[in-house]
A and B are shown apart, each in its own frame.
Chain A
């Protein structure tokens, strides 16, 4: 066999033109942008975020103030979306109540992912005894009914925005721990992880800089969907009267106005629609991310 000079007339050229260095993240964003429903979700969510951030300044009505007769229909008595069973302005409730939903959703999802990813990453990476102990712990949390556990935590620590968010985080991290563990088990067997160890990477680097970034796509999708679930959870707790008593929230509006559903449909339905649209937009974004990260789904 003769020694062939490498390169030049290398038959083995894939991308010959100096292609722009497209990072996997940028590729995913390009895919995401082409997905109509995902972009619609992003627009809806952005609208709600904007309303929550600047709405209270543009519409400076206190959601706890009584502005007119109870249960006035939308458009009458000066209230755009009507009033609730105490005569409070529903528009003001919608504008101000989103803060609780979105804040609790984001804090709870962040906490869920932090606990879940840490537990799952350590269990999946180290295996053995570490894995057994952490998975037993996960099982303990998994068998407890989430709503009851959250209600218990909120009751013990008195309901505030933070205690509600933390309680939701504590009851919902188990599935992200399992997902992270499964991804770590899969990825740590791949050759590039062995290669990283062989070039002198320490465990910390292997976990956080090599395996975790490659496990991110499903985790980002899961974090997105977790935010939606946490918003629903918060609404559920507020609906049951376990929300922060000093803050107006969509779930609380639904719960309070529920008995008057037949006489004044708008009072409970309008905050319900707000919750629905927010959670739907987040799911659409989650699905869009999932497709953008998963090339095989794209071709369908």
Chain B
């Protein structure tokens, strides 16, 4: 990817989404889930920005906040210079045609009582896209474009397979000709063969319609195939943010390194396998220093005291780790390439 001169399509800055938990009794202290806790990134036009991370790291919450489907606690989400968090009511509703979402579960993302043709038509009617008389043609065209047959328009979602349902969801997201499509694990519920077809379809659509994707996944191979830039999330924070090639060639953050080593053939030439021990700490009671310290083989005294901030290092990469130097040396680079890691 060459550097892009255009201003980015999407710019998220210091996004926080905290969920207050219900109190067991009125005098109990307020406990809060820090689902997303200070996330910033930019998505250049016509590119794909990937977010990876374990379950519970806050990927879906980030996606829903960008989609304005949950309220951000703080931070801004600028789409083409407009801060979406400042919109509400009708102005938000009108803005929605520019950003759409493809959901994870093809079984619960389509209303079981609506015919698929109507599912794809609804965005056109509700957001008043195009002349009413042309909408039926547009639905048919969308159906063809995502690889469904127009004869299937009158069927109900339960009459389709998972992969076909996901195509209906893609057609729905495309209907209003959005600029941004947020994809939350759009293939993780599908069979492997279907995954590849669906990903190919997404790539084609991006090329043909100039789409920008915010693409969320826990599958590194999917992200490697599709994404130009990748952010690795851990417990509500981005710990590393880099272009695809650098990330897969040489991960900097110890967590990224551990994630990549779990993917056969994807760990930048090294054969070591790192098994992460234990679970991430709870997003309610966050540790004081680095959130990864409890599982990090390189953790030091300082890591437990002081939280590392995301900072730029050599090669335009960003990483949040005390032990990564400004020139881009990470602690695991010193390890012998084929030794089993000491984790």
Contact = CB atoms under 8 A, between A and B. Distances in A.
Interface of A: 1-7, 10-15, 18-19, 21-24, 190-192, 194-202, 205, 210, 213-214
Contacts of A190: 108
Given A195-B101, A198-B101, A214-B111, A14 B147 contact: no
Given A11-B194, A195-B172, A198-B96, A24 B112 contact: yes
B159 A3 contact: no
Interface string B76-103: 0000000000000000011011001101
B149 interface: yes
A23 B111 CA distance: 12
Counting chain B CB atoms within 10 Å of each CB, the highest count among A4, A199, A214 belongs to: A199
A215 to B, nearest CB: 11
A6 B164 CA distance: 10
Contacts of B162: 12
Nearest to A211: B111
B74 interface: no
B286 interface: no
Contacts of B160: 14-15
B126 interface: yes
A200 B127 CA distance: 6
Contacts of A7: 147-149
Interface stretch (B31-39, B150-158, B260-268): B150-158
A18 B108 CA distance: 23
Nearest to A6: B147
Contact of A201 (B64, B103, B126, B151): B126
A196 B69 CA distance: 10
B306 interface: no
B257 to A, nearest CB: 26
A12 B122 contact: no
B194 A19 contact: no
B176 A15 contact: no
Nearest to B90: A202
Nearest to A5: B147
9 contacts: A1-B196, A5-B147, A7-B149, A11-B193, A191-B109, A197-B69, A198-B69, A199-B172, A200-B94
A213 B113 CA distance: 8
B123 A199 contact: yes
Contacts of A24: 112-113, 156, 158
A92 B204 CA distance: 76
Given A11-B193, A191-B109, A198-B69, A21 B147 contact: no
Given A2-B200, A21-B154, A213-B113, 13 more contacts: A3-B200, A3-B204, A6-B200, A7-B148, A11-B194, A13-B161, A24-B158, A191-B104, A195-B111, A195-B172, A197-B69, A198-B69, A200-B123
Interface residues of B, number: 54
B202 to A, nearest CB: 11
B197 interface: yes
Contacts of A191: 103-105, 108-109
A202 B64 CA distance: 17
Nearest to A205: B126
A14 B203 CA distance: 24
Contacts of B115: 21
B156 A198 contact: no
A21 B172 CA distance: 20
A247 to B, nearest CB: 41
Nearest to B175: A199
Counting chain B CB atoms within 10 Å of each CB, the highest count among A14, A202, A210 belongs to: A14
Counting chain B CB atoms within 10 Å of each CB, the highest count among A13, A15, A191, A205 belongs to: A191
B109 A214 contact: no
Interface string B199-240: 111011000000000000000000001000000000000000
A18 B156 contact: no
List the 3 shortest-distance A-B pairs measured between CB atoms, nearest first: A6-B147, A14-B161, A12-B163
Given A7-B147, A24-B113, A195 B103 contact: yes
A12 B201 CA distance: 14
A12 B197 contact: yes
B146 interface: yes
B52 interface: no
